[in-house]
Amino acid sequence: MIQKVHTFDQVLDTTGLFCPEPVMLLHSTFKDIKVGDVVKVLATDPSTTRDIPKFCLFLGHELIEQAETGSGYEYLIRKGG
């Protein structure tokens, strides 16, 4: 679970979805938010531990934090410019 106290603007729940759906939904979500907004992503697919950091790196978004939870994974991502 995300340990630090962070605020976020939106939650994207991709639990139960498998590659490539979580990243496709994240990409779609980022089209609809403004630069600087923070999205908390909930996921259960282990491939998100590879795919979401690459998504951020390639598209210029900030991966603030990622954590493994008892039931899956959580990510905090700030939309870049």
Residues with a known catalytic role: 19
Measured distance CA(9)–CA(54) in Å, rounded: 22
Single-letter code of the amino acid located at 17? L
The three-point CA angle 9-11-16 to 5° equals: 170
